[in-house]
């Protein structure tokens, strides 16, 4: 061993990973759900109305994501016209956890300035 510390340029680039359509749909549903939670329940919007409207319009309610409870919820309860459906979300605790972990602390930091 020469004791040389390897730099980023010493490694080949990682292969590009393309998410599957199901993974993309899950990400869209999470993003829209957290946005709905932030607006409707926490009263701390994390995106503009236009951004939320666009994201909600991209949801494919009929796509199965291998999570039957959430798939059924999006077919029967989700509406891209409103965020009121978030109150009936089957994993509201999980949505709250994501919001708190990634957005609540960040918003509080900027509001104190």
In 3-state terms, what secondary structure has residue 7? Answer: coil
CB 100 within 8 A of CB 34: no
Query: Could you read off the pLDDT tens digit of each residue along the chain, which spans 113 residues?
Result: 567 787 778 888 777 888 899 999 999 999 999 999 999 999 999 999 999 999 999 999 999 999 999 999 999 999 999 999 999 999 999 999 999 998 877 655 556 55
What is the Cα–Cα distance from 95 to 113, expressed in whole angstroms? 27
CA 19 remoteness from chain centre: 15
Instruction: Look up the pTM and report it.
Output: 0.80
């Amino acid at each position: 061993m020469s004791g040389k510390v390897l730099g980023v340029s010493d490694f080949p680039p990682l292969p590009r990973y393309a998410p599957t359509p199901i993974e993309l749909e899950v990400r869209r549903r999470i993003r829209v759900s957290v946005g709905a939670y932030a607006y409707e329940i926490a009263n701390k919007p994390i995106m503009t109305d236009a951004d939320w409207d666009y994201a909600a319009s991209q949801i494919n309610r009929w796509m199965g994501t291998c999570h039957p409870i959430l798939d059924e919820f999006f077919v029967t309860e989700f509406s891209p016209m409103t965020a009121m459906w978030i109150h009936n979300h089957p994993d509201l605790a999980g949505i709250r956890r994501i919001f708190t972990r990634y957005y609540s602390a960040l918003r509080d930091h900027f509001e104190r300035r």
